């Protein structure tokens, strides 16, 4: 029997450059992912018996049944390694859905990490993670990484140290929609030469220094044009003078601070109507 409860942490993108559309339909990107302390709680139990997966959720609204990536992760693990297991998954959902924070991918990675107690570890699980979703392999470890290719090429980095305020403008943005819109009009907004030379230094950010990464996200002009609430949130961040960016395909924006007190002070200035979360960056600790 397996019984585990894990913290499935969100991530933010410290910059995201889209390099090109690939022949397989995916896109080559270059980004830095960093996990943060905002997290779902994923509990999994598995017993010998007829194969099956059962999923229950609490908290924020999330896809159910076979549409849920955590469910798919358990089902794929059972089939891939030919295991006679009945798996029950419970998710306390705290990461907003379709928000650019990778919550579904992190939940799936938590399931895979839990189920390695009943099957293989290592490359076979990483391969399975990649088939479930481009971001899932990163969440098997977490922390910070330079992410390239379609998301499968990971270079671990020293984690960045910061506190963050995550601003959610209250709309949902599907990554499929965002990439489709970029295919139609985004290339004219992307400086490919600059993206090719985008690099990730060690994650040091000392008091009085500027953040060591370019936080430009090629999705921002696309998402802001479609959703005025995102454009307004970006304007608030720019006027405040914070170090800020868009996470993933949005709509969540973030502002980075050296201390919790600074983050809380900024959050206190936000106008009504914006859901926000105060969190900190985290080190690699698995899902």
**Residue 202 has what pLDDT?**
61
Q: Are residues 146 and 196 in the same domain?
A: no
Q: Are residues 142 and 193 in the same domain?
A: no
Q: Are residues 146 and 204 in the same domain?
A: no
Distance CA 245, CA 165 (A): 11
Is residue 180 flagged as an active site residue? no
Question: 156, 178, 210 — which closes off a domain?
Answer: 156
In a domain, 287, yes or no: no
Is residue 11 flagged as an active site residue? yes
CATH number of 172's domain: 3.30.70.890
Question: 156, 177, 198 — which closes off a domain?
Answer: 156
In a domain, 49, yes or no: yes
State which residues form the domain around 186. Answer: 163-280
Q: Are residues 199 and 261 in the same domain?
A: yes
**Residue 139 has what pLDDT?**
96
In a domain, 285, yes or no: no
Q: Are residues 65 and 109 in the same domain?
A: yes
Q: Are residues 199 and 238 in the same domain?
A: yes
Q: What is the DSSP string of the chain?
A: -EEEEEEEEEEEEEEEEEEEE-TTS-EEEEEEEEEEEEEEEEEEEEEESS-EEEEEEEES----GGGSHHHHHHHHHHHHTT--EEEEEEEEE-SPTTSSS-HHHHHHHHHHHHHGGGS--THHHHHHHHHH-TTHHHHTT-SEEEEEETTTEEEEEPPP--EEEEEE-S----HHHHHHHHHHHGGGG--HHHHHT---------TTSPPSS---BTTHHHHHHH-HHHHHHHHHHHHHT-EEEE-TTSS-EEEEESSHHHHHHHHTTPPTT-EEEEEEB------
In a domain, 26, yes or no: yes
Question: 156, 172, 206 — which closes off a domain?
Answer: 156
**Residue 49 has what pLDDT?**
84
User: Which residue among 40, 93, 107, 135 is the active-site one?
Assistant: 135
The total domain count for the chain is 2
Mean pLDDT by 10 residues, the chain (287 residues): 92 93 87 96 93 94 89 95 94 94 96 84 88 94 93 91 93 88 75 58 70 90 92 90 91 95 94 89 78
Q: Are residues 20 and 112 in the same domain?
A: yes
In a domain, 68, yes or no: yes
Q: Are residues 148 and 65 in the same domain?
A: yes
Q: Are residues 114 and 240 in the same domain?
A: no
Q: Are residues 203 and 136 in the same domain?
A: no
In a domain, 35, yes or no: yes
Q: Are residues 186 and 79 in the same domain?
A: no
Tell whether pTM > 0.75.
yes
In a domain, 78, yes or no: yes
In a domain, 128, yes or no: yes
Q: Are residues 18 and 111 in the same domain?
A: yes
């Amino acid at each position: 029997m397996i019984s585990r409860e894990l913290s499935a942490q969100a991530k933010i993108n410290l910059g995201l450059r889209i390099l090109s559309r690939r022949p397989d339909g995916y896109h080559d990107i270059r980004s830095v992912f960093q996990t943060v302390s905002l997290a779902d709680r994923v509990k999994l139990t598995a017993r010998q018996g007829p194969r099956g997966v059962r999923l229950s959720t609490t908290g924020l609204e999330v896809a159910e049944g076979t549409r849920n990536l955590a469910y798919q992760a358990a089902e794929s693990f059972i089939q891939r390694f030919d295991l006679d297991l009945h798996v029950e998954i419970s998710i306390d959902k705290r990461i907003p859905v379709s928000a650019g924070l990778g919550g579904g991918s992190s939940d799936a990675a938590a399931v895979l990490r839990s189920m390695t107690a009943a099957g293989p570890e290592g490359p076979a699980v990483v391969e399975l993670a990649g088939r479930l979703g481009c971001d899932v392999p990163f969440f098997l470890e977490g922390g910070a990484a330079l992410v390239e290719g379609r998301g499968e090429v990971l270079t671990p980095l020293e984690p960045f140290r910061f506190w963050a305020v995550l601003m959610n403008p209250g709309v949902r943005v599907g990554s499929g929609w965002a990439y489709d819109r970029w295919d139609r009009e985004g290339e004219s907004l992307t400086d490919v030469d600059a993206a090719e030379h985008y690099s990730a230094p060690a994650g040091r950010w000392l008091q009085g220094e500027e953040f060591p990464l370019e936080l430009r996200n090629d999705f921002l002009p696309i998402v802001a044009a479609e959703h005025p609430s995102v454009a307004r949130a970006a304007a608030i961040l720019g006027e405040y003078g914070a170090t800020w960016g868009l996470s993933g395909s949005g709509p969540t924006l973030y502002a980075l601070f050296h201390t919790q007190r600074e983050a809380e002070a900024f959050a206190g200035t936000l106008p009504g109507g914006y859901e926000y979360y105060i969190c900190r960056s985290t080190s690699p600790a698995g899902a």
